[in-house]
Amino acid sequence: MSENRIGVAKTYKLYIGGAFPRSESGRSYPVSDAKGAFLANAAQGSRKDARDAVAAARKAFPGWSGATAYNRGQVLYRVAEVLEGRREQFAAEVAAAEGVALKKAQQLVDAAVDRWVWYAGWTDKVATVLGAANPVAGPYFSFSVPEPTGVVAVLAPQQSSLLGLVSAVAPVVATGNTAVVVASADRPLPAVTLSEVLATSDVPGGVVNVLTGRTEEIAPWLASHADVNALDLTGAPEALRAELERSAAGTVKRVLRPRPSEDYLREPDLGRLRAFVESKTVWHPVGT
Amino acid sequence: MWEYAPAPESRDIANLKPNYRMFVDGEFVEGGGEPLKSVNPGTGEVLAEVSTAAPADVDRAVKAARRAYDRVWGRMPGAERAKYIFRIARLIQERGRELAVLESLDNGKPIKESRDVDVPTAAAHFFYHAGWADKLGYAGYGPDPRPLGVAGQVIPWNFPLLMAAWKIAPALACGNTVVLKPAETTPLTALVLAEIIQQAELPPGVVNILPGAGDVGAAVVAHPDVDKVAFTGSTEVGKLIQRQLAGTGKKLTLELGGKAANIVFDDAPLDQAVEGIVNGIFFNQGHVCCAGSRLLVQESVAEELLDKLRTRVSTLRVGDPLDKNTDVGAINSAEQLARIQELTASGEAEGAQRWTSSCPLPDKGFYFAPTVFSNVSQAMRIAREEIFGPVLSVLTFRTPDEAVAKANNTPYGLSAGVWTEKGSRILWAAQKMRAGVVWANTFNRFDPTAPFGGYQESGFGREGGRTGLEAYLDV
């Protein structure tokens, strides 16, 4: 083989319904590394792409939310397995995107893999921890279980291109929701590679859909979309947050507001799991 | 049908006063707003004049709540807070008859409901949440979950005292202080609750109660020093509030409208189901956000069930809310009566078949005879819009999948019912229905230990149970 082999550059595309289409708008935008050097062109997702992604997420919802928690746990654990095998690739991408040293990038990738494992283990425990048998004052059996909210639009963190992304997406799908994710606008490449991992690790198409592009362009369509049930504002540009919340009110969406600062390297609490579940209470009489 | 002699509860028990004042910083004071007249919907007569809050009063109340939070309530050990809340529960029980009669006078609901449901359940909510005040570390929100601060709460007119209890009890248990606005048409029992709070010697400012119309509620919700907003009411207003709070960082919970499906399968015990259907839609004149207002009957039993249902509904006694034999009381206001009339007219105009009980109605006051629409299709307004009155819309289905699809064909998602003898089908239907509460072979059961709240446009957040505490904690 030649010493000067020319590398094969990847085309970075959207991930919708299990497929990798280009943006229907035909647009792309250049992505640079932290020092400003060109890395690749990413697809610049449009309103139509966002709507396609919502339709794909809705279509996937009955199957994914209806799967057993054990099954979801196995699928999410499988994601961690496949991620593990691509640690070097992700470390290089994260280092380029975030401008951190390779060693730091490796630490972030390891934490992202471990985060998947952590959330994979939660799938069949959430109902035990958040649910209840309700000791009502009468001859009834009453129990409450958490159920997934539905289709969740996730505006992924702008800074933490992989660990932050995983920390936002994994809890959404762990509880049985399906997701439309808008990747970090300036650091989208690890998200596209993560899509490739999802596509090859038993996650049904449509459960996670990933859009790249300008967050401020795509987010308003998701915030006002009637078939989106919830909105994670973590990566929303600050100037846009209030407007997105106002749009979300149009169909009473659940809105997760960003925390003032989030250290993604720390073990999370249950906040993100609780944010996108609905408690359902069932009653039945007791009698002979 | 049996004849019953009148059995009215004495209205003297209500200790009705000609004037009521708002409750701020531990005192009853005049408000700067235009006084409102609370009407007895059973007769249409004015019951009492109630002072209302002006914008400056809202500010005073929020300041009082903030002071009480900073200086006393927010830092008080949970075990001490608990004892105050237990006191409130006991005082409600002690003054139960008075509260029940006053509630029926002001709201129009039958005395047997205010006596047996509203008042005891209100007491139960305080009793339940009192016990949480010193056990919050066990609730699953970390070892020492903190309160939010000042809670602004706005409640509806359908369960005036009970909704006040649902709002105030968890807020206090978690260490928050409260500014509560009762509904314009039903402020009286909340102001007696204020007396009870005084009798329980709660520190001044911990609970403030501001009567008034929607503008007072809007001012409470918008006040910059309110940390948490809880609203129960219409989806329309809920959306306005969510929009208004956008970007403020205030924590919000909403309990909004509903259009619950009540599904009857062909193997259901029909006589029991009829009782449940009646309870589901005619309880509290149908002024219930989780009312079973859409009856879905399996086609093979539809005719039989409808016959039984009409027979049963025609025995419901509509009339004087204070009569112990009354099943269906008065519609809460002339405005609500007009809305019910408008929607039922649309049902007829759109081609549904109307059946209305021929029961006698009183000459005075606001009343609406129990009504059942059959041949209803999903596109009709009476199948889609919340009527909030004693009006049932009946649709049919053939297969379980169709039943669930129709049940879920609504932007709401508060409650649902299912009637069948088959256990596996109950659990299947309960799983498939996108609603926060599912009653199987029963309907309209409430308990402070059981979380209540909606999916989708019926709101978010829960009231009751361990889950309900989240609304009042900084987690």
Same domain (yes/no): B61, B74: yes
* pLDDT digits 0-9 by tens, B366-410: 999 999 999 999 999 999 999 999 999 999 999 999 999 999 999
Q: Check residue B1 and give its pLDDT.
A: 60
Q: Which residues in chain A are closer than 8 Å to B227, comparing Cβ atoms? A: none
Cross-chain residue pair A270–B465, CB shorter than 8 Å: no
B105 and B188 housed in the same domain: yes
Mean pLDDT of B201-212: 98
The answer to whether residues B241 and B375 belong to one domain is no
Residue B167 lies in a domain: yes
Task: Give A92: exposed, middle or buried? Use CB within 10 Å, 0-12, 13-18, 19+.
Answer: middle
Please give, rounded to a whole number of angstroms, the shortest distance from the CA of A176 to a CA of chain B: 13
| Residue B446 domain flag | no
Could you tell me if B460 and B429 lie in one domain? Answer: no
CB contact under 8 A, A130 and B441: no
Closest residue to B426, CB basis, from A130, A251, A284: A284
pLDDT the model gives residue B4? 85
B-chain CB neighbours of A140 within 8 Å are 442, 445
Residues B311 and B460 in one domain: no
Q: Which of B9, B255, B457, B463 is catalytic?
A: B255
**Band of pLDDT at residue A135, cut at 50, 70 and 90:** very high
Q: A285: distance to nearest CA of chain B, Å? A: 7
Cβ <8 Å between A283 and B462: no
Asked if A229 and A151 touch (Cβ cutoff 8 Å), the reply is yes
Which CATH number do you get for residue B403?
A: 3.40.309.10
For A113-134, how does the pLDDT look when each residue is reduced to its tens digit (9 = 90+)? 999 999 999 999 999 999 999 9
Segment (H or E) for A41: strand A38-43
- Are residues B292 and B238 located together in one domain of the fold? no
Q: Give the minimum alpha-carbon distance from A74 to chain B in angstroms, rounded to a whole number.
A: 22
End-to-end CA distance of chain B: 56
Comparing CA positions, the residue from B119, B128, B121, B230 lying closest to residue B173 is B128
Confidence of residue A1 (pLDDT cuts 50, 70, 90): low
Domains of chain A: 45-285 (3.40.605.10)
Inside any domain, residue B1 = no
State which amino acid sits at residue A56: A
B337 plus B275 within the same structural domain: yes
B110 and B226 assigned to the same domain: yes
Residue B460 with chain A: CB contacts under 8 Å: 252, 254, 278
Residue from B121, B289, B445 whose CB has the most chain A CBs within 10 Å, to mutate: B445
Whole-angstrom distance, CA of residue A199 vs CA of residue A138: 50
How sure is the predictor about B3, in pLDDT bands with cuts at 50, 70 and 90?
A: confident
Residue B131 has pLDDT above 80, yes or no: yes
Distance CA A129, CA A122 (A): 10
Confirm whether B367 is domain-assigned. yes
What mean pLDDT value characterizes chain B?
A: 97
- The residue-averaged pLDDT of B221-250 equals 98
Q: Residues A48-105: pLDDT tens digits?
A: 999 999 999 999 999 999 999 999 999 999 999 999 999 999 999 999 999 999 999 9
Q: Which pLDDT tens digit goes with each residue over B212-223?
A: 999 999 999 999
CB contact under 8 A, A252 and B453: no
Question: Are residues B217 and B333 both part of a single domain?
Answer: no
Residue B266 and residue B242 in one domain: no
Pair (B303, B241) in one structural domain: no
Which residue range forms the structural domain that includes residue B315?
A: 261-440
Dihedral sign for Cα atoms in the order B273, B277, B280, B284 = negative
pLDDT in tens, B289-305: 999 999 999 999 999 99
Nearest CA in chain A to B254: A252
What is the pLDDT, as a whole number, of residue A2?
65
Q: Do B303 and B157 fall into the same domain?
A: no
CATH no. for residue B111? 3.40.605.10
CA distance B372 to chain A (A): 26
Contact status, residue B281 vs residue B257, Cβ threshold 8 Å: no
Share of chain B above pLDDT 90, in %: 99
Token pair 């914008």: residue:
B55
Predicted pLDDT of residue B137: 98
pLDDT at residue B2 greater than cutoff 90: no
Interchain proximity B438–A136, CB inside 8 Å: no
Beta-carbon separation of A246 and B455 below 8 A: no
Tens-place pLDDT, residues A237-282? 999 999 999 999 999 999 999 988 889 999 999 999 999 999 999 9
Predicted-complex ipTM score? 0.97
Domain for residue B431, yes or no?
Answer: yes
Contact A179, A154 (CB under 8 A): yes
Average pLDDT score over residue span A211-234: 98
Alpha helices in B108-159, H assignment, sequence order: 111-113, 119-132
Kindly report the average pLDDT of chain A as a whole number: 97
Chain A nearest-CA residue for B257: A252
Tokens standing for A190?
């690890």
Name the nearest CA neighbour of B285 among B322, B325, B331. Answer: B331
Q: What total number of domains does chain B contain? A: 2
